[in-house]
Structure 1
Amino acid sequence: MKYVTVSAKIDEELRMKLKELGIKPSKVIKEALEKEVEKKMMEKLYKSVEEVSKIILEVGREKWVRAIRESRDEK
């Protein structure tokens, strides 16, 4: 896996508190970015599911049942 550097500007007071408390900014930033990416991916997935659900509802139950039965008969 290839890594890249990402930086963030913070004020000196926060930096001193991080150092004082033994908090590694790189670990916190990495975890926050991973969490945000996962959140956005889930939002995107839910949006896709909503769009597909609308299409399924528009087509109607009977057409879906018929299509599934026809598909089974072809096999």
Structure 2
Amino acid sequence: MVQVPSDVISVRVRRGLREEVAKLGIDVREVIERALEEEVRRVKRERFRTLVEEALRSMDVDVEEWASAVKESRLER
């Protein structure tokens, strides 16, 4: 098995929540890692969307025109 480098992150949660997590046998590392991965994807998509919108505004092209041009370009390949 290949070990991936990792870091330790410390987080405070309500005591009751921590006790319930332990009682239910929830793998905290797995849940937090999955949540962070999802959030990273969401933020990257949002930033990309913002960059595309800014670029389109600077080129005076609307999203529909741009999407149409991209589809047309793909069909030409």
Q: TM-score, normalised by structure 1?
A: 0.68
Q: Secondary structure at the match of 1:38?
A: helix
Structure 2, gaps ≥5 residues long: 62-77
Q: Secondary structure at the match of 2:10?
A: coil
The RMSD of aligned alpha carbons is 1.4
Q: Secondary structure at the match of 2:60?
A: helix
Residue of structure 1 equivalent to 2:53: 50
Identity, % of aligned positions: 29
Aligned-partner Cα distance in 2 for 1:47–1:8: 30
Aligned-partner Cα distance in 2 for 1:54–1:12: 49
Residue of structure 2 equivalent to 1:18: 21
Q: Structure 1 residue runs of 4+, over 4 Å off?
A: none
Aligned-partner Cα distance in 1 for 2:5–2:19: 30
Cα deviations across residues 42-73 of structure 1 (Å, max 9, x unaligned)? 11000000011112217xxxxxxxxxxxxxxx
Does 2:9 align with 1:6?
yes
1:29 to 19, 32, 35: 32
Q: TM-score, normalised by structure 2?
A: 0.66
Structure 1, gaps ≥5 residues long: 59-75
User: Which amino acid is the alignment partner of residue 47 of structure 2?
Assistant: K
Higher RCO structure, 1 or 2 (CA under 8 Å, sep 6+) = 2
